[in-house]
């Protein structure tokens, strides 16, 4: 498996080992792109994605919706959410590296893992006629994040899930029907803060209604944390006439008190 070289990622910058003068934040940002290749999850040198981290995602998908039950039961129906990894340690690091540290070389690995997950789930489900193909919709990132990352990275995961479902006999096509209006970042907010922050900001884009109206939809996101993103996405799709039947994520953050990642600890106690 060829690994991406520093030059293919960022041809104009100095090669590995070179000292770069500049602000600390710039250095930190460049470090993820210019230094020799290391595993995007555990940091093992000289391999972009090690066997140990790959193994975290090559498991039978498991259900995690009970971790976000309060937000997933907007209308009393729990939304099945299949996931692959606990969102801690190397799995969490890998998602952060992918989304915020330029490790887009991980995209095909994550998409492949979710393709396998989609196939496994589909093989256990009744077949769907091609005319009734499911729509597989990625949870939308903010406009700022889209610009920073060159698009909605989660859309690639949605394509993986769609391919897997289809391979397993459940016809599915990806759709980028959702958009998010500008607003504050979700990082650092608790469950209620996240839900409030997102309320009304996730919408079906122009033309997207035609893609989802009357369709069964499967949502895809990178990590299930509080469920706020999936709940807002589900609400927007259902107002457009879709029926959201399930969701897939790469990872699921354990509930607070089990192993809370430091960035998920709310900065203030939510009211009530
Ligand atoms: Zn690793």
Tell me: the pLDDT tens digits for 111-144? 999 999 999 999 988 766 667 899 999 999 999 9
Q: How far is the CA of 90 from the centre of ligand 1 (A)?
A: 7
Q: How far is the CA of 7 from the centre of ligand 1 (A)?
A: 22
Q: Specify whether the CB–CB gap between 152 and 138 falls below 8 A.
A: yes
Handedness of CA 254, 255, 261, 264 (dihedral sign): positive
Q: How far is the CA of 95 from the centre of ligand 1 (A)?
A: 12
Q: Is residue 232 part of a domain?
A: yes
Using alpha carbons only, give the angle 76, 77, 81 rounded to the nearest 5 degrees.
Answer: 135
Q: How far is the CA of 137 from the centre of ligand 1 (A)?
A: 28
Q: Is residue 269 part of a domain?
A: no
Q: How far is the CA of 2 from the centre of ligand 1 (A)?
A: 16
Q: Is residue 7 part of a domain?
A: no
Cross-strand pairs, 62: 83
**Number of domain units in the chain:** 1
Burial class (CB in 10 A: 0-12, 13-18, 19+), 248: buried
- Tokens 């129906």 map to which residue? 77
* Residue 253, domain CATH: 3.40.50
Q: How far is the CA of 47 from the centre of ligand 1 (A)?
A: 8
Q: How far is the CA of 141 from the centre of ligand 1 (A)?
A: 26
pLDDT single digits (tens) 174-203: 999 999 998 777 777 777 777 777 877 999
Q: How far is the CA of 63 from the centre of ligand 1 (A)?
A: 24
């Amino acid at each position: 498996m060829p690994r991406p070289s520093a030059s293919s990622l960022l041809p104009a910058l100095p090669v590995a080992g070179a000292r770069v003068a500049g602000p600390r934040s710039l250095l930190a940002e460049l470090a993820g792109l210019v230094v020799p290749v290391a595993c995007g999850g555990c940091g093992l040198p000289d391999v972009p994605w090690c066997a140990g981290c790959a193994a975290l995602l090559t498991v039978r998908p498991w259900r995690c919706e009970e971790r976000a039950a309060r937000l997933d039961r907007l209308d009393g129906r729990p939304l099945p959410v299949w996931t692959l990894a606990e969102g801690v340690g190397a799995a969490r690091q890998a998602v952060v590296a992918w989304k915020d540290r330029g490790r887009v070389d991980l995209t095909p690995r994550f998409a492949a893992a979710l393709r396998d997950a989609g196939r496994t789930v589909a093989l256990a489900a009744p077949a769907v006629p091609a005319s009734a193909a499911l729509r597989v919709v990625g949870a939308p990132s903010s406009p700022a994040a889209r610009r920073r990352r060159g698009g909605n990275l989660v859309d690639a995961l949605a394509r993986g899930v769609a391919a897997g479902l289809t391979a397993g006999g459940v016809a599915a096509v990806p759709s980028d029907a959702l958009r998010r209006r500008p607003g504050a970042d979700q990082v650092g907010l608790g469950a209620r803060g996240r839900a409030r922050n997102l309320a009304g900001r996730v919408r079906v884009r122009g033309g997207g209604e035609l893609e989802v109206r009357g369709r069964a939809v499967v949502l895809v996101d990178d990590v299930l944390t509080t469920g706020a993103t999936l709940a807002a996405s589900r609400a927007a799709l259902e107002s457009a006439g879709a029926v959201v039947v399930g969701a897939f994520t790469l990872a699921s953050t354990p509930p607070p008190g089990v192993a809370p990642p430091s960035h998920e600890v709310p900065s203030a106690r939510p009211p009530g």
